[in-house]
Structure 1
Amino acid sequence: MNTSRTTLACAIGALYALSTPVFAQATSAETPVAEQAAETPDSQVVVVTGSARPQRRFDVSYAVNALSQANVQKLAPLNMADLLGKLPGIQVEATGGEVQNVTRVRGIPTDDGYALFQQDGLPLMTEINGYFFRGDSMNRYDLMTKTLEVVRGGPAPIYASQAAAIINSTTVTGGNKTQGKAQVSLGTTGLKRIDAVQSGKIDDRTFYAIGGFVREDDGHRDPGFPNDRGGQIRANIKHLTDAGTWKLSANFLNDHNVFYLPIPVSDPRNPAQSLDGYIDYFKGTMNSPALRNVPMKNQEGNGAQRTDQRDLANGRHLKFGNIGLQFEGAVGEWELSAKAGFTKGKLDFDAFYSTSNPATATTFANGFLAAARTAFGAVDHLGYALSGTNGAQAYDPAAAGGLVMQGQFRNLQADFYSHQTDINFTRSVQTGLGKHDVKVGFYGSIYGSTSRSQYNDMLIELHNQPRTLDLIAYSATGAVLGSVTDKGVLRYTTTLNQGDVDAKMAALYVNDTWEVSDRLRLDAGVRTERYNYDGWALLTKQVDLGDKATLADNATRAFTGERQNNVIKPHTTNWTVGANYDFSSMFGGYVRASHLEVPPTMQNASSVSALILTTKANQYEVGFKTTFGASYLYITGFRAQFKPLNSSFIAFNPQTGRNDQTLPFFGEATINGAEIDGAWHLAKGLVLSGSVTVQDPKYKNFVNASGADPSRVVGNQIVREPKVFGNIRPSYSFTAGDKVVDVFGSYSFTGKRYVDLFNTTVLPSYHTIGAGISVTRGDWQVLLTGDNLTNAKGLTEGNPRTDALAGQGSNTAIYGRPVFGRSARLVVSKAW
């Protein structure tokens, strides 16, 4: 159903202002936890991210949201991406699981949107992403998170590396009063989670805070084995001295998270025919207990054969520790902020990726008949059997509509480290033409990673939690002559990579906020960065591992024993300039331009054939803002230019099982749009809030290195990006005796998108409805929330391994990652 235009009209007509009500920016250490939901007018909300000094949100010349714990509770997000998607200008695909979801800021066509995560103003790792994990994997929300501040555009390129946006989590610190909170969360997905935080005083100058979570969850798409499991602990000690404040902090995360990939939703032979009878739209997954003992074979550089047994239940297992030290104080007339952190961790990741559409079983088998006859002799026919039974347990594809499927089991491992330091000085200088707040800073980092990846192609049935299949070669008498597959493996190690990189970077930055008058503020900044990557990658070749009973090892990637060295030394310069003018205490506006340059990453320096590009993003903003009592409205028009846009997708080739199909396009992306963000207090306790983003994401100035016609791409809508998205959230608070009751709802919508460059296969628009109620009595609170209450259908992506170049052979997507179905959570908490 196409609801984009009607949704937009209703949203603008119904709301004078849209978005998350922003309450107190931060609950002080001395504020009782039970009172943290008290509202603060938006004009008084203080933000610390992206400015020389803390400022009121209304006064800054850029788009920023500040979310307290009370805000986040009312938003009731499923994961970090879902939380960010409630904000204007940020489009998310929050259906991959708890972490590693897609976030796009103002249409910037990358899966992270160049949104850099920080904790107390310093990243846990210098690079915006690690090897197959993103910022939301390392930065987890729990009760130790005091506020979450999100800067879109603006001065983000000055205050962080590689950042078109900053997501800064400030942590709870201790105060004079001992206080804390504990909560238990239960969910219909099998969720069982405990959060806790405690803070207080050690002595008159020393304070502590400690908190974290532990959690188990079967997940929205039960794979048949333990899903998300693990937890996090964070702690800090703050000490006051005559010179300033010291804070020593520590993090430790050890967590397993499942990764959901797209599933087939319609029959490729008849796209109008649903596959719900085999893989349920809301509950179905190709993750399966059959993939808990997958052999992965390859040949090492010394010629020895290596076999690893991998377990899909391992999921994305991320384990890391971080130690940080910060100082805030005065040095003469300058204010000094010095922050340092060290992070060391390991990723061990197993996932089952979607590849090609389901295939007719007979056609699929016949494609291997010639190779089977060459290998095994007088093969009469090929037949299917449950894997590992050597043909003894036949499998009839007719039970699944005559279809079978391929998938790709991936194992990726990385050991990583990151030392990061940020030192800056801020000083106010009064002149005859107003006051200047000047900030001068240095950021430096030493970081690196050792990584390895290995992919198997698997043959599976078309079914929820599918069994793996073998394709057996039979003689005319029914004797087994050999097997195309080996224990469900269609092709061993079609991809094999191993590399290492050590990196150094140094950045200098300066920003000047000039308060010309009590109404006019100007600011400008520049950041220059130098990088040095020293890496290597092992070279590979194709070999036959020699097992004559199967074809699965005939074309396996192997290390040659040689390696390629890579030294990359990029240099980037970012800048920003902006102005803010307050027409009155209720009305204001701002303009801003910023320029971001993003160098090649660590992964480029540890790869054999990575493309070395420095990408550039220009952002322009014009904003209007008004606040009246507790209500507010922010409207921001924006334009983003991104180049060079490398759309040379490496696609899965079902004939070879390798990711080796490319059609290189290079060009630009331009996104013109507007954000509406606000809250309207209609009556006592009744608030209408939300956000709407309208944009026009287009490809521009494309060329193709191999002679393909780029005119079919130019002007098209950027892959997987809608022209309209947003949410509307009414809430009503009232008292009932000694209880405070808060009832709230949400209506979220996402417009039509496309899976491919040529805009041939549509991802239809969709919407979801959620609701919740909380009851607070003294220090106790009970919260019940429900998501996608109507079981509305929607696809957040297609099948990007194969469809980004040519679509899916249908007008509407038949393969994709659906939104989660109806679910509910109950949270019971106690503060003290």
Structure 2
Amino acid sequence: MIKKRTTLAVGCALAALAAPAIAQVATEEAGQPNQTAQATDSQVVVVTGSARPQRRFDVSYAVNALSQDEVRKLAPLNMADLLGKLPGIQVEATGGEVQNVTRVRGIPTDDGYALFQQDGLPLMTEINGFFFRGDSMHRYDLMTKTIEVVRGGPAPIYASQAAAIVNSTTVTGTETTRGKAQVTVGTTGLKRIDAYQAGKIDDRTFYAIGGFVREDDGHRDNGFPNDRGGQLRANIKRVTDTGTWKLSANFLNDHNVFYLPIPVADPRNPSVSLDPYIDYFKGTMNSPALRNVPIRYLDGANTLQTERRDLANGRHLRFGNIGLQYDGELGPWQLSAKAGFTKGKLDFDAFYSTSNPADAATFANGFLASARTAFGAVDRLGYALAGNGLAYDPASASGLVMQGQYRALTSDFRSAQADVNVTRNFQTGLGNHDVKLGVYASNYGATTRSVYNDMLIEVRGQPRTLDLLAYSAGGAVLGSVTDNGVLRYTTTLNGGDVDARMAALYLNDTWEISDRLRLDAGVRTERYKYDGYAMLTKAANLGDAATLADNTTRAFTGERQSHVYKPHTTNWTVGANYDFSTRFGGYARASHLEVPPTMQVASSVDPLVLTTKANQYEAGFKTTFGRSYLYITAFYTEFDPLNTSFVAFNPVTGRNDQTVPFFGKAVIRGAEADGAWYLTDRLVVNASLTIQDPKYRDFVSATGADPSRVVGNRIVREPKVFGNIRPSYSFTVGDNKVDVSAGYAYMGKRFVDLFNATALPSYHSVGAGITVTRGEWQFQLTGDNLTNAKGLTEGNPRTDTLAGQGSSEAIYGRPVFGRSARLVVSKQW
């Protein structure tokens, strides 16, 4: 009943947006124009996915354009949280500042095929890097002028591998020198400084420079800072008689610790909460005990390699990018040429969830036989704190112990990319054509290595690592199952290198038949070449007779498996837009997207090489009335084939070696709505709502698993309903302008598994904020999840993807963040 009431509340809010639209538009069409029509939605100009800049109201696809002030009002916690405010985009923004999950219109991938761009060009050609995504490279700061988000539509034509485009445009200098500085502090220990300045060097040369530095202890208590680092961006623009040149540079050096799922209930009795041991809102398996983790493996020369890894390093991404852009005229053609080169390195340390917590006695007994084989007359196994050998009795706490997987990865990556396109308008006897012809090319690659250790820990926040010791009848220690907290060394070992090249040719024609009817169609063809190798591995015993932890490690053999792949894809789109009046319009579109395998297939052992195809259809209605607007879009997406195969954690071997292949089709039907209703000049209600039906179809399994139990089920971790309502009110007190806002967000029920056996219950959150502006100064206070409402954004994907967690509701998952607040003080000039 709560779910139905919540859905009804969001739906009623959007219906309320439509009612005044019809009434007011009817009045305006009758000859009574809106007297307050300033800064209307119909005046918003977008550049992403269009041959030329166009009004948002005129384009034949769903797009949102957010100014810097609009982003400030939304006060997002991270980029995923910002995207989640928009319709049609479901996010899981609880992994930390970056590397969060984004799904666009039900697309069943963790990135939703949303390609990030900066000024129309990606910083890296592939939609994802090796263990980092677009939101890791594209950080929001005061150098971001606007963010445009295209959902579906012509995205497959204007970007590679894209069902959606997130394009950030950067601030550039103008005749007037301007700038801003702001300080942000928060209840999570957040301390951040942002600043930028832009102006002119001479009458034709302009500059902009800015960035941020920050440190944040994080929403969960790691025992060390969660985020630390910063970004610097700058550009110089030169205006000539024929066009404009812009030289830009980016530099990012940032650490972001990753939050993974935690156990929230006792698997022996799911009604028993583990909150006394690991706090729902603050608890994490990240711990200072994991700041000196040993990594051991044999290299290709059979030499033992040993290193120490620090979990506080987190996702340490540093990269530099330099770009050059030209926009000008080439006779009757409008020429745009963009090029960029990115080089960077990722060092990634994270502690991943694996299997459920286990009864401590049962877990220990599972190793008794192997301990007796290795150490002789073992009478019993007992626990001790790793490092100091002090006895530890799990029965004095939760009675549970658990495994976790420490992942240490490195990647050196590079990406050179260029896009050159020309646009020309052709007048004909039947309307005019805006024709855009472009070429995109890239040379990119990466060298990668990954090493996984299984660790044994207690069940509590900031857990201590444990040793499992073998005792004789007299109490003497005969040996150890573990080694200083390591349960199994190097259960996963991978390494490889790949060089990639790609070239794309694209063409789009926007045909304006009349001032009311516009048609457009486009095609993009892409050719790739991946040339790489994977380093082969074998099982190995490192030879330490005092422990079982090194008995079944992986070791490099010294041999390589080479790969050359040449995928070829073709994307197309056809759309139409018809304006019934200056206030009412409609649009429809069909598009076809093909996504090739990533370059990582060429640096993997025996990879699965598969091109994913998606057909997308959408039809929309739009109306704008003064500053108010309403956009409603129905969508239908079909994936065929959809690969939902996954590699599961095997608690017996300690390796991610249980491949469960499932292939089939996914069908997502739905509708999204995006609206703003200005009840008065001071009171506005913004809202978005998405209703969808994401299902699996026509599945098969190569391993004998029953696919009939999957067909017709809800796609994993996808809700039927999600949305938000954001009312705000502004007023003045003396010389102070005051804006007060509130927000209510709702996420519907989801499932962790293909069989839909374990549910992630629906949840909601409430936030509020107040902004006071006095002259050049501004003070903003924002609070999130003020009621400490509980909710899980995912389960435990390492073990529960097929058949769930053995409970009707998830007992292991990644909780939403608890109550927090931030204060931002800024001054502009």
TM-score (norm 1): 0.97
Contact 1:158–1:525 (Cα < 8 Å) also in 2: yes
Displacement of 1:4: 3.2
Aligned to 1:371: 370
2:559 partner SS? strand
Aligned to 2:657: 660
Contact 2:758–2:808 (Cα < 8 Å) also in 1: yes
2:26 aligned with 1:6, yes or no?
no
Contact 2:14–2:688 (Cα < 8 Å) also in 1: no
Q: Map 1:206-605 to 2 at 5 A.
A: 206-389=205-388, 391=389, 393-605=390-602
Q: Map 1:782-821 to 2 at 5 A.
A: 782-821=779-818
Displacement of 1:605: 1.1
Aligned to 1:27: none
- The one-letter code matched in structure 2 to 1:176 is E
1:774 partner SS? strand
1:362 partner SS? helix
Aligned length: 811
The separation in 2 between residues aligned to 1:99 and 1:679, in whole angstroms, is 29
Aligned to 1:629: 626
Bigger mean CA offset, 732-741 vs 772-781: 732-741
Contact 2:262–2:353 (Cα < 8 Å) also in 1: yes
Contact 2:593–2:615 (Cα < 8 Å) also in 1: yes
Q: Map 1:13-28 to 2 at 5 A.
A: 13-16=12-15
The separation in 2 between residues aligned to 1:472 and 1:781, in whole angstroms, is 60
The separation in 1 between residues aligned to 2:500 and 2:392, in whole angstroms, is 52
1:365 partner SS? helix
Displacement of 1:17: 6.1
Contact 1:530–1:572 (Cα < 8 Å) also in 2: yes
Contact 2:38–2:626 (Cα < 8 Å) also in 1: no
Contact 2:13–2:687 (Cα < 8 Å) also in 1: no
The separation in 1 between residues aligned to 2:322 and 2:798, in whole angstroms, is 38
Q: Which runs of 5+ in 2 are unaligned?
A: 19-36
The separation in 2 between residues aligned to 1:219 and 1:388, in whole angstroms, is 27
* 1:304-327 superposed Cα distances (whole Å, 9 cap, x missing partner): 011110000000000000000000
Aligned to 1:33: none
1:659 partner SS? strand
Displacement of 1:39: 6.8
1:604 partner SS? helix
After superposition, the Cα gap between the structure-2 partners of 1:241 and 1:748, relative to the gap in structure 1 and judged at 3 Å, is same
Bigger mean CA offset, 131-140 vs 703-712: 703-712
Contact 1:17–1:676 (Cα < 8 Å) also in 2: no
The separation in 1 between residues aligned to 2:16 and 2:776, in whole angstroms, is 32
Contact 1:17–1:689 (Cα < 8 Å) also in 2: no
Bigger mean CA offset, 768-777 vs 644-653: 644-653
2:656 partner SS? coil
2:764 aligned with 1:767, yes or no?
yes
The separation in 1 between residues aligned to 2:336 and 2:85, in whole angstroms, is 32
Contact 2:247–2:325 (Cα < 8 Å) also in 1: yes
Displacement of 1:14: 2.8
**2:699 maps to which of 682, 702, 710:** 702
Contact 1:118–1:166 (Cα < 8 Å) also in 2: yes
Displacement of 1:400: 2.3
The separation in 2 between residues aligned to 1:629 and 1:166, in whole angstroms, is 28
Aligned to 1:157: 156
TM-score (norm 2): 0.97
Aligned to 1:183: 182
1:805 partner SS? coil
Displacement of 1:40: 1.6
The separation in 2 between residues aligned to 1:754 and 1:778, in whole angstroms, is 50
Aligned to 1:30: none
Aligned to 1:779: 776
Aligned to 2:195: 196
Aligned to 2:27: none
The separation in 1 between residues aligned to 2:705 and 2:365, in whole angstroms, is 32
Contact 1:536–1:605 (Cα < 8 Å) also in 2: yes
2:753 aligned with 1:756, yes or no?
yes
Contact 1:17–1:679 (Cα < 8 Å) also in 2: no
After superposition, the Cα gap between the structure-2 partners of 1:18 and 1:446, relative to the gap in structure 1 and judged at 3 Å, is farther
The separation in 2 between residues aligned to 1:399 and 1:18, in whole angstroms, is 57
1:478 partner SS? coil
Displacement of 1:690: 1.4
Aligned to 1:84: 83
- The one-letter code matched in structure 2 to 1:581 is Y
The separation in 1 between residues aligned to 2:670 and 2:450, in whole angstroms, is 39
Aligned to 2:126: 127
Identity %: 80
Aligned to 1:29: none
1:195 partner SS? strand
Contact 2:14–2:673 (Cα < 8 Å) also in 1: no
The separation in 2 between residues aligned to 1:77 and 1:162, in whole angstroms, is 26
The separation in 2 between residues aligned to 1:552 and 1:246, in whole angstroms, is 59
Displacement of 1:15: 3.2
Q: Which runs of 5+ in 1 are unaligned?
A: 20-37
2:592 partner SS? strand
Displacement of 1:704: 1.0
1:158 partner SS? helix
- The one-letter code matched in structure 2 to 1:812 is E
2:139 partner SS? coil
The separation in 2 between residues aligned to 1:18 and 1:670, in whole angstroms, is 30
Displacement of 1:18: 6.4
- The one-letter code matched in structure 2 to 1:445 is S
The separation in 1 between residues aligned to 2:365 and 2:350, in whole angstroms, is 29
The separation in 2 between residues aligned to 1:18 and 1:73, in whole angstroms, is 23
2:658 aligned with 1:685, yes or no?
no
Aligned to 2:21: none
The separation in 2 between residues aligned to 1:745 and 1:605, in whole angstroms, is 49
1:137 partner SS? helix
Contact 2:13–2:725 (Cα < 8 Å) also in 1: no
2:42 aligned with 1:43, yes or no?
yes
* 1:197-218 superposed Cα distances (whole Å, 9 cap, x missing partner): 1000000000000010000000
Q: Map 1:76-115 to 2 at 5 A.
A: 76-115=75-114
The separation in 2 between residues aligned to 1:648 and 1:440, in whole angstroms, is 38
* 1:218-274 superposed Cα distances (whole Å, 9 cap, x missing partner): 000020012200000000000000110000000000000010000000000111111
- The one-letter code matched in structure 1 to 2:255 is H
The separation in 1 between residues aligned to 2:47 and 2:111, in whole angstroms, is 23
Contact 2:10–2:723 (Cα < 8 Å) also in 1: no
* 1:162-202 superposed Cα distances (whole Å, 9 cap, x missing partner): 00000000000000011100000000000000000100000
Displacement of 1:531: 0.1
After superposition, the Cα gap between the structure-2 partners of 1:284 and 1:18, relative to the gap in structure 1 and judged at 3 Å, is farther
The separation in 2 between residues aligned to 1:4 and 1:244, in whole angstroms, is 55
- The one-letter code matched in structure 1 to 2:767 is G
The separation in 1 between residues aligned to 2:626 and 2:38, in whole angstroms, is 11
Contact 2:325–2:336 (Cα < 8 Å) also in 1: yes
* 1:540-574 superposed Cα distances (whole Å, 9 cap, x missing partner): 00010000000000000000110000100000000
- The one-letter code matched in structure 1 to 2:142 is L
The separation in 2 between residues aligned to 1:17 and 1:410, in whole angstroms, is 50
2:97 aligned with 1:64, yes or no?
no
Contact 1:18–1:728 (Cα < 8 Å) also in 2: no
After superposition, the Cα gap between the structure-2 partners of 1:18 and 1:187, relative to the gap in structure 1 and judged at 3 Å, is farther
Contact 2:456–2:466 (Cα < 8 Å) also in 1: yes
